[in-house]
Structure 1
Amino acid sequence: MILQALTQYYEDLLARGEIAAPGWAPAKISYALCLDEDGQLTQVVPTMEEVPKGKKTVSQPLVFPLPAAEKRTVGIVSNFLWDNSSYLLGVDQKGKPARSRECFSTAAARHHAVLDGVDSPAARAILRFFDSWQPENAAQCPALEGKLEEVTSGGNLLFRVDGRYAQEDAAIREAWQRRQSDRDKDAVEMQCLVTGREDEIAKVHPAIKGVRDAQSSGAALVSFNAPAFCSYGHEQNFNAPVGKYAAFAYTAALNHLLADKDQVQQIGDTTVVCWAEGADPVCQSLAVAAIFGGEAPGGLTDNALRATLWHLAHGEPCDELAVDPNRTFYILGLAPNAARLSVRFFLRDSFGALMRNVNDHYERLEIVGGRYEMLPLWALLRETVNLNSRDKMPSPAMAGATARAVFSGGRYPASLLEGVMLRIRAERNITWGRAAILKAYYLKNPHEDCPKEVLTVSLNEESTNPAYTLGRLFRVMEEIQLASTGWNVNRSIKDSYFNSAASTPLSVFGKLFALSNYHLKKLMRDKPGLGKKLGDLESELAAKLTSPPPARSTQEEVVCFYLGYYHQCNHKKEEEKNV
């Protein structure tokens, strides 16, 4: 299903003219080797562009559509018309001159195999260059004077003959396409499991680049590298027969997605890409903005984006953007695994159904005190992380399970709740994001000890839930203490008793009432109006407790305590905001 969807996406992009044809792929090029008709190197021209990066401007290689790169690990295999200096000049900075010469000889043989007999001045110039160039004399070449170290530093090079790039020559392009269509006499032909057509089966698939923490040279999505993975005597990718066309198409589509850094997102260790059937860019941009907090298409504000999401979720027309809610949409999460890639999750659904699940998720998260209109997925997962630690990455398994729950509308993983509870206990701090997660978790994963009356957007003054009331009461006692000391105290009751008040309230609240009476008397002397208001509220809440607090609270009761405390903290702010 994944390979079929990516192959179809490649064909959609090809129909829109947004991706290279089979046998071609984008490549980053740092320098052009300029040749004359006799194949002599006359000049080396940088092919770089200045781009802003943060507050600085940096130079980066230009991207050219070139013959597709060959997959190589430790072997010597040359690309056609472009490669690094080891292959095109026979010189590099790796300190292995014999291997560099072998790379150059391999490149020369490759170009002769494709270009011999091609009636083109550019083709003849390239072949003459390979026949006449002497790698050992590279330092004496006038065209490389003062540039040899830069040219051989690892960047890719290509050929330019008489001011025109070699890949633009019609005869050379035809020769390359003819070479691509030639079938190896020893090739295995079978039915491709992606297209269903008879095709030459790809023994190895092109590399996929751009997945964070995977090998920089590229990793494989389909790979068999040990006998334990093989069956029926098949070797390598003959165990999963994918034709050469489909292998090229799905890897080209995936590399195209991963190359767009504005669309690629990270969830823990997982690199996430998404796309729509028909290669609709609006659906893709809207999904990224709605889920991950990227830039919304059409310059939509946060409020307009939230409204658009609501309309799509309810099957209503969207005036802001021309989006088809019935269009099929895909989300793919890839994680690094040595030289291969692991599929963390893969979702296929209509765009409207996905937006409905995302909208429901945001409605469950809605709670007083929010700084933003929506809590993007990266910010939600960050609430489970100690921001003072060296490793600020959330648990990969938890992040992947949470993403699947959001996308599919399923239950949130217990690990998400555990991560948030751990941070609250460690920091004694209930942030907006953490309170939103607690509320959303029990709305989606209901439990009788955490009723809906406490899972409200703002303070529920009518609630009689004991744990919720204790949370509110604790906050009022804290306010009394802080007000009586002029809001300047070295250690508040929150610092000393917050965790024990939530988990073992029976052993703590007796002490808290005694402390509160002491602080209230002082407050009544200094600020009688505020003291009476807080004292009356404390008495009102205490009267709701018709039975002694439990000796030990369940996890759900602790969550009720946290929400009561959080709602009470933000109730005054909300009142002032409404006024």
Structure 2
Amino acid sequence: MILQALENYYQVLAARGEIALAGWGIAGVSFALALAPDGALLGVQPLKITSLDGKKEVPRPLRVPEQVKRSSGVAANFLCDNSSYLLGADEKGKPARTLQCFAAAQALHHTVLDGVDSPAARAILGYFDSWDPQTALSHPAVAPLADQLMAGANLIFSVDGVWAQEDARVRAAWDAFRSGHAAGREMVCLVTGKRAPAARLHASIKKVHGAQATGASLVSFNAPALESFGKEQADDTGQGCNAPVSESAAFAYTTALNHLLADRDHVQRIGDTTVVFWAKDGEPAYQDVFGASVFGTAGSRITEEDLKSIFKNLAGGNAVDFEGIPLDPENHFYVLGLAPNAARLSVRFFLQDEFGKLLKHVEAHYERLQIVKPAYEKFESLPLWRLLNETVNQKASKKEASPPMAAAVTRAILTGGDYPASLLEAVLIRIRAEREITYGRAAILKAYFLKNRSVSLPEEVTLVRLNEACNYVPYLLGRLFSVYEAIQQEASPGINATIKDKYFNSAAAMPATVFPVLIGLADKHLKKMEKGKRIYWDRVLTGLWSRFEEDLPARLEVKDQGTFYLGYYYQTQQRYTKKENREDRENG
């Protein structure tokens, strides 16, 4: 299904002229070799451009003939290659192999361009026939740029100021050559369902975070254990038959995926996973809305109010006009997560559904996350990156959420499924380690308990704000701890080691053991206060203790520890809210 969705996406973009056609692709090019009509090298033209951040020079992306997939052998590209193939010189210290590379490029260009009536074709063939690799580095045009040319940069040819790949007759010659060299065994394509030559190797997928810079494979077979009988790697026509994909379909899906990965506005990272997403009709507005809703991207283009309106309409099955573009809730939408795996890629997840249904699941997720927030919290919602960030140790050298957990959370949000248990575990670990319940962690606990009904907690502990009528013991214990903390802070402001530092985790795990200690400490703290404050806190404590209908539990299981933390968070937020309101009245 992944390859079919990508192949369909390619066809949509190709019909609109927005993507390279079969046999062509985009490559970063650093220099052009300017040739005279007879093939003599006139000069070397730098082609690099300034990067988007303005900090460095980067290769210029140009449409060039599709490049071969190289691992170790000698294989030349047409019209665009590195100095080994086009100059016969490099810095690898293997002159014999470099000469083989140049000879391979010479042979390929003669095969494609012999008999082509074009000044560009004649100049290129003249160049290969007259160029001497032995003296390449001493050529006046090459010597000043030798280090840069040999550093793996891609080179192209320029004849009379026109890049060779833009010459109409040269292009036609390449298309004819490529169509006549389908060497794969003819089989039924798994993507299109049609009989066609199967691609032996599929093009590399580039710009997946953590994967090799030269690209990695989504479909490949490189060991006998992965191959079927009669389709061994040793047989050049048989290797690709392990998963027969026609050459045209292989080109289409790899080109489409590389196109998505090159679109920086619509690529996201979740831990070690690179995420791309697209609509079936190729309309980028769907990507904008999806990115803003799930990842919090698109900046000021889509406000919180815009998102609420879009959610309400699309999730309700109504079309929406977004910046003059109608968005159809029934349009199919795809989300693909890829992770590096040596020279190959792993699929973390692949999700597909109607766009309106996906947003409906996202909307429900955000509703579950709604919880009372501190006054300083500026975000209206908790986008995915912030949610996952709550599970990360911010002091660690590698600040990334667990990849399997991150993928499972993403899948749960977009499909409406239960959140993974690993999310709850990760949040509890951070709370215990830091003794801190942030807004984000409290929101995650609330959402988890609301969605995962297998946890079987009363709904009264998962309201948006404090539920003073709730008598669930772990919830009450969390509230009590917050009150004891407030009493200590008021009695001994600025104290170095608080009860939260000493007893927070143990109180949530073994309340019957710890709370008698807290009661004794609170009595000492209350004696330090003036009468009015002591009476107030006595009333608060009496009101909470009067709600207990059973003895303190010796131990709390994981779900009840989470409930303890929620009760603590709610009570603390109410305490701060009352304090802020009191200060506002005093200052007003």
Residue 56 of structure 2: SS of its match in structure 1? strand
Aligned counterpart for 2:289 among listed residues 276, 286, 290: 286
Gap change, CA 1:473 and 1:196, over 3 Å in 2? same
> Deviation at 1:319?
4.8
Distance 2:368 2:378 in 1: 16
> Deviation at 1:308?
2.1
Alignment of 1:156-555 (within 5 A): 156-184=154-182, 187-235=184-232, 236-295=239-298, 299-321=301-323, 322-369=326-373, 370-447=377-454, 450-486=457-493, 488-524=494-530, 528=532, 530-555=533-558
> Deviation at 1:448?
6.2
Gap change, CA 1:577 and 1:199, over 3 Å in 2? farther
Contact 1:289 1:295 in 2 (8 A): yes
AA partner of residue 473 (structure 2): P
Distance 1:485 1:307 in 2: 49
AA partner of residue 301 (structure 1): T
Contact 1:35 1:41 in 2 (8 A): yes
Question: 1:523-574, CA deviations, whole angstroms, 9 ceiling, x for partnerless residues?
Answer: 226xx3x444333212211211232210111212111110000011111444
RMSD: 1.7
Residue 215 of structure 1: SS of its match in structure 2? coil
Distance 1:17 1:50 in 2: 26
Query: Is the deviation greater in 191-200 or in 66-75?
Result: 191-200
1:37 aligned residue? 37
Distance 1:449 1:550 in 2: 18
AA partner of residue 139 (structure 2): C
Distance 2:184 2:203 in 1: 17
Question: 1:107-132, CA deviations, whole angstroms, 9 ceiling, x for partnerless residues?
Answer: 11111110010000100000111111
> Deviation at 1:50?
1.6
Q: Does 1:22 align with 2:22?
A: yes
Question: 1:90-145, CA deviations, whole angstroms, 9 ceiling, x for partnerless residues?
Answer: 11122222222211111111111100100001000001111111122122211123
Contact 2:189 2:196 in 1 (8 A): yes
Report percent identity of matched pairs.
51
2:5 aligned residue? 5
Aligned counterpart for 2:117 among listed residues 109, 116, 119: 119
Contact 1:41 1:129 in 2 (8 A): yes
Gap change, CA 1:340 and 1:252, over 3 Å in 2? same
> Deviation at 1:254?
0.4
> Deviation at 1:349?
0.4
> Deviation at 1:277?
0.5
> Deviation at 1:577?
7.1
AA partner of residue 438 (structure 1): L
Distance 2:143 2:340 in 1: 42
> Deviation at 1:417?
0.6
Contact 1:193 1:242 in 2 (8 A): yes
Contact 1:447 1:556 in 2 (8 A): no
Distance 2:218 2:269 in 1: 18
Distance 1:324 1:523 in 2: 64
AA partner of residue 505 (structure 2): N
Distance 2:117 2:322 in 1: 55
Structure 1 gap segments, 5+ residues each: none
Contact 2:320 2:328 in 1 (8 A): no
Give the TM-score taking structure 2 as reference length: 0.94
Contact 1:222 1:237 in 2 (8 A): no
Q: Does 1:568 align with 2:567?
A: no
Gap change, CA 1:67 and 1:464, over 3 Å in 2? same
